[in-house]
Each structure stands twice: as C-alpha cells, then as structure tokens.
C-alpha cells in the first residue's frame, strides 16, 4: 500500500511544514515593557526626589545667606567699634587732644577702608553736575565760582554698594548769581 502524504495547508495557502509559525510570546514582551516602564518610573521618582531635596537645600541656603550674609562685615566692624570705645574711655585734655583727634581720624580711615573692602564706594559730588539719579537737592544758592546746576555743598555723601546706589547725596545746587 502506498502511503498517501497529505500536506496540510496553512492559512495563506502554503504548507505548514515549509513555514514555521513565528515564536512570538506576547506575555514575555509585555513583561519586558512593564519592567522598562517600572525602571523609568523609578528613575523619574528618584530624580524628582533629588530635585525636591535640591530645592529645599537652596531655600535653606538662601535663608542662611540672608540671615548671616553680613557676618564678615560685622566681624570687621567690631574692630572699628573697639577703637571707638577705647577713644571714648580716654581722658581727653588739652595736653593729649591732638593724639585723641589723630586716633579718631585713624579710626575713620579704618572704617572707610573696611567699607571699601566690602564693596561700598563713596561718590565724589562737590563741583559735579547735579544728577537726580545720584543727588537729592535740599537747597540752591547763587554762585559765581561754580556753574549753575552744579553742586556747591554736600550735606550727606552718596554711597554705592557693588555698583548700586544705596544712598543719594544730599546737596545744595548752584544757581546763576544775580549780579
């Protein structure tokens, strides 16, 4: 008897023996994708927590700078204060007045140098043209020596701190003399 070999045909008309069905396990692929998604989620949560910690640290640091930022200036000023207190404790008489005055002048120079070291700059005003951005006019006076609109007297000096005006000068401004 002859064996009859029948070939079964696949869905597309080809034989099942010649075409193998791809071994694609959907559940394995879903599992891999879920693992990747979980890894990315964990990375995201880690970075989010890190950023939140950074933000909290930055807020704390800014608060400390605001609270203690002037500490170096204060430490330096304490030395100047000590000198003024020593001067106030001194018994001043006619025989030591010149030494007392010299000590006060030296302390004033020390204070100016300290402020300059910390970014405070005194602005020269007398004889300069009046600038409402830098000066506050308290009065005017006629002058034949100084051109009109220029500063004749400085009542309070102007100061800048790191290029920012912190106090305008209070001044008297010249006006045309009536001669």
Q: Has residue 2 been placed in a domain?
A: no
Q: Has residue 178 been placed in a domain?
A: yes
> What per-residue confidence (pLDDT) applies to 69?
83
CB 151 within 8 A of CB 173: yes
Please report, for the domain that includes residue 127, its CATH number: 2.30.22.10
- Residue 179 domain boundaries: 121-179
Q: Has residue 150 been placed in a domain?
A: yes
Q: How many domains is the chain partitioned into structurally?
A: 1
> What per-residue confidence (pLDDT) applies to 26?
87
> What per-residue confidence (pLDDT) applies to 22?
60
> What per-residue confidence (pLDDT) applies to 117?
92
Q: Has residue 31 been placed in a domain?
A: no
> What per-residue confidence (pLDDT) applies to 24?
72
CB 84 within 8 A of CB 53: no
- Of 91, 86, 81, 116, nearest to 103 by C-alpha is 86
Segments in the chain below pLDDT 50: 1-2, 8, 10, 16
Identify the DSSP state of 124.
Answer: P
Q: Has residue 127 been placed in a domain?
A: yes
Q: Has residue 153 been placed in a domain?
A: yes
How many Cβ atoms are within 10 Å of 136's Cβ, its own excluded? 14
Q: Has residue 96 been placed in a domain?
A: no
> What per-residue confidence (pLDDT) applies to 20?
59
């Amino acid at each position: 008897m002859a064996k009859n070999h029948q070939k079964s045909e696949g869905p597309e008309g080809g034989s099942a023996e010649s075409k193998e069905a791809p071994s694609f396990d959907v559940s394995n692929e879903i599992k891999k994708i879920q693992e990747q998604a979980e890894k990315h989620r964990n990375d995201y949560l880690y970075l989010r927590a890190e950023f939140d910690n950074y933000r909290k640290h930055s807020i704390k640091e800014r608060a400390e700078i605001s609270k203690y930022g002037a500490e170096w200036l204060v430490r330096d000023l304490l030395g100047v204060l000590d000198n003024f207190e020593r001067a106030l404790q001194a018994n001043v008489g006619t025989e030591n007045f010149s030494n007392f005055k010299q000590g006060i002048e030296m302390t004033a120079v020390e204070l100016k140098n300290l402020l300059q070291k910390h970014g405070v700059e005194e602005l020269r005003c007398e004889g300069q043209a009046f600038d409402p951005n830098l000066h506050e006019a308290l009065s005017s006076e006629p002058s034949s020596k100084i051109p009109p609109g220029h500063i004749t007297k400085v009542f309070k000096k102007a100061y800048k701190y790191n290029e920012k005006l912190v106090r305008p000068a209070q001044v008297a401004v010249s006006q045309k003399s009536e001669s």
